Structure 1
């Protein structure tokens, strides 16, 4: 009788033993039941059936494959979880596009696929400029995919990217990108499962709770229930997905924007919601360089725009009304923070600011803000504020050495967050980002896209800021009018921007797979 009985593992422990990509299929398949229920409530039966059937099929497939993998640990190298994350941005959207395509029935599957890649990477660029073309069920699905994509990056930042010193952590780590700082911290299957369980248990309640709170506040401010929910999910995920074409179509007004601004601060630094990574070793939020730089940009740029607008209004002899000036300043502040966090929501007063001044604010400024991006290990894209801080500190130090060549650095506690070669690694990433931007722009122009349009498309994809397509140029860029080659290149740009170039290079490094 000895050895016949073995302790049964809990259900969740058995589920976590499954491959990461299979877990994601199960999660997103279960999420399809939400728009299925909503479609049934609002009597949108065509879309409801599409999501119900796709969700049940996905869950059945998940269960069958899960049974086949029962009792077996997934075998993969050090970068196996990173490969699963890349598959989530490239292969998983094929599954997500099926109910969207069947529910809409008036578009191609390629358009549906690009729409889902845009949502799961939290880019928020849409193929359908007219929001009325999509019903509430499809808008809800886009928002859910974007919200889950943001949550996936929240969890992956601590459980996958941080141990591999990628995603911005390479600036603070003491090991090469793609490698662990210590031999004791690896990426074996049990360690990955343990980290995923711990990080998920901490972050999922925070993420869901903040979304629910913002949803209630926006609904109380005057937004319709669906609009408030979609905007709340878009703010937390920095996806910029809206069922009404932006904040101007909502009903919460400036009060709703004020609440959104507070919640967008979570994308400036991970310390605003968690201390589960090594980035917490900087003396708290007040001393956090990312948060300080972000706040400085949000204050300085709107003041500059306000003064520019004020001088423009004075030159054209416009009426200098205090209320108009206040709305212009608010519209600038909200829009600057929105694009800095790569959310991409333009304030309803952003147009008023331009009309009050009589001047057009160039879209190049918003593109620059999106390229800077938000904090490391947040849902924001872009170069990231920590890398900008590393380059800034290095520049200041080099100027000090010009005056005092033998001086010793006394950067203070904030600079201890950076490793010795942090600025060098940040510069490498910046150059890779610039080269990728140039390459994507060139490839888009080769497909027949105009250069200015190609540049905006490249910046929008690599910074995961889809709403740039509607505000960065004189006329909005219609993705649906691009040819298939241009759509494919833009899709690749969104994946590169979300996963980052260093992670892609690590995936193609044979030595790291053997590590």
Structure 2
């Protein structure tokens, strides 16, 4: 049965899973006596399952062939572009007071774990069952990234793996050609069995801890799924509006560390010989940023001589330091949750709305093969090693590098590929900014939306500007551009280029 199921394309399997997941908000709406929403999700689930079964029966008569890695990569692209059309149907019918393009944008935002605050400015507009569907889609998108990073992107040396791999991006490893490679479908199943239960267990643990700290069961569940998927989706407009307080934020802080390095839960992307995540450069750079940036904001209180008379207020100082640390980690992991003490941190530093800092943190992003978006810490580390070596050569032109093995590979070829990615990212950022500006957005809004979508940090649209950007008031063309930018930010430019290469389809 399993082999027969794995013979179908990945996009068909994902469609079937999506149809089954619609039963959960249907049951939730039924328990809340909201029969109209329950019917919408139930009918969408039944029709989706019927469609998937018809397609499956039509394909069952063909000769079974292994789905190639590039076929899975194409299915991943379809999951971010076409699957939201189906996911948006029950959301659109259940809400009844919005256009379908808004529902589609919401689903693309959720499955790419971007979390654009489309309806967050008025969370009461959505019933809890619709909030549950948003959270579930975002949570499923996070699991899809976890699994596809190892099962789809790693074999093709994409998604950050190209920095440490010996082969070119979009190609398999040369040394692996000596051996018979594992069936891609079986590899996908094995990685799902390995990471899926861990993902569910971590979500359940965070949910339980948030409950202990005072959150309602439903709010705790949405926030737990959002933290694990780094989607930033909330049913109450953010964690600052929750009831868990400092204890809940402290628990979320610990679970957000999973977005800094894959080695916190796996060891398949080790860049060092030691597998401990404390020796992982991504994790160490992430912790360094989380420590330095809040301290700089904290120290500016004295450097700029703001509120000198309140220096003795130890409690306010502690709240400012914690608000800065939580918010910095949240945006570095591209989650976008704002601490309840972030306002205190802004007042303490005297910066008002430090939008540039949050934009920069989101651009850096989290670790490779995690749910975080952005440029990724491993690429930043590769460029750091290369820059340090170039400065050594300026001082001692005849010096010989001390790095060996993997570090030398990262410093040379890895840094070269990381620089190419930076250039492609910058070109994409400039292009999307120009297009949004041509569609009527001012420069500040255009660049904030471009960074928010490409780095998959949707809450930037609310917190990086003086006034939140009204996403619902954007035109249809602008919303389609934002959808394409979110897909590009999640898939990354190198993966799109690999799909456009005609040489890979000749076999």
Question: Shorter-normalised TM-score: what interval?
Answer: over 0.9
* C-alpha distance after superposition, 1:81-131 (max 9, x if no partner): 111000000000000000000100000000000000000000000321210
3-state secondary structure, aligned to 1:502: helix
CA distance in 2 between partners of 1:321 and 1:391 (Å): 41
Pick aligned residue for 2:459 from 454, 467, 473: 467
CA 1:291–1:416 in 2, change beyond 3 Å: closer, same or farther? farther
The CA deviation at 1:248 is 1.5
- Give deviations 1:234-291, integer Å, cap 9, x for gaps: 0000000000000121100000000000000000000000123455755421210000
* Unaligned residue ranges in structure 1 (runs of 5+): 1-10
Task: State how far apart, in whole Å, the 1-side matches of 2:268 and 2:191 are.
Answer: 8
Aligned partner of 2:187 in structure 1 is: 195
Task: Give the Cα separation in 2 of the matches to 1:296 and 1:494.
Answer: 28
Helix, strand or coil for the counterpart of 1:69? Answer: helix
Match of 1:287 among 275, 279, 291: 279
- Corresponding residue SS for 2:426: helix
TM-score (normalised: structure 1): 0.94
Residue 344 (structure 2) aligns with: 352
Match of 1:62 among 26, 49, 52: 52
1:113 aligned residue (96, 101, 104): 104
SS in 2 for 1:163: helix
Aligned counterpart, 2:147: 155
| Deviation of 1:352 (Å) | 1.6
1:282-306: CA deviation from partner (whole Å, max 9, x where unpaired): 5421210000100100001111111
1:52: which partner in 2? Answer: 42
Corresponding residue number in structure 2 for 1:103: 94
C-alpha offsets along residues 131-167 of structure 1, whole Å, 9 cap, x if unaligned? 0111100000000000000100100000000000000
Of residues 375, 399, 410 in structure 2, which corresponds to 1:407? Answer: 399
CA pair 66-278 structure 1, distance change in 2 beyond 3 A: farther
Q: In the alignment, what sits opposite 1:379?
A: 371
Q: Which residue of 2 aligns with 1:36?
A: 26
Deviation per CA, 1:54-95, whole angstroms, max 9, x where unpaired?
011111222222222226435766521111000000000000
**TM-score after normalising by structure 2:** 0.96
Q: Tell me how far 1:51 sits from its aligned partner.
A: 0.6
Q: How does 1:346-495 map to 2 (within 5 A)?
A: 346-411=338-403, 415=407, 418=410, 420-495=412-487
The SS at the match of 2:237 is coil
Other structure's SS at 1:418 match: helix
Residue 3 of structure 1 corresponds to none
Distance 2:249 2:416 in 1: 38
SS of 1:125's equivalent?
coil
* 1:79 alignment partner in structure 2: 70
Secondary structure (helix, strand or coil) at the match of 2:360 reads helix
Task: Provide the residue aligned with 2:266 in structure 1.
Answer: 274
Residue number in structure 2 paired with 1:22: 12
Change (3 A) 1:248 1:278: closer
Check if 1:215 corresponds to 2:207.
Answer: yes
2:9–2:67 CA contact under 8 A, matched in 1 = no
Distance of 1:334 and 1:358 partners within structure 2: 18
In 2, the alpha carbon distance for the partners of 1:374 and 1:224 equals 29
* Two-structure CA RMSD over aligned residues (Å): 2.0
Q: 1:93 is matched with which residue?
A: 84
Whether the 8 Å contact between 1:282 and 1:413 is mirrored in structure 2 is no
Residue 124 of structure 1: which of 115, 120, 130 is its match?
A: 115
Q: Which runs of 5+ in 2 are unaligned?
A: none
Distance, in Å, in 2 between the alignment partners of 1:139 and 1:297 is: 32
Change in CA separation of 1:409 and 1:167 when aligned onto 2, cut-off 3 Å: same
Q: CA deviation at 1:358?
A: 4.2
* TM-superposed deviation, 1:361: 4.1
Contact 1:312–1:359 under 8 Å retained in 2: no
C-alpha separation in 2, matches of 1:281 and 1:492: 38
5 Å-filtered alignment, 1:189-338, equals 191-277=183-269, 279=271, 281-312=273-304, 314-315=306-307, 317-318=309-310, 320-338=312-330
Q: How far apart are residue 420 of structure 1 and its match? A: 3.9
CA contact (8 A) 1:444 1:489 kept: yes
Change (3 A) 1:123 1:480: same
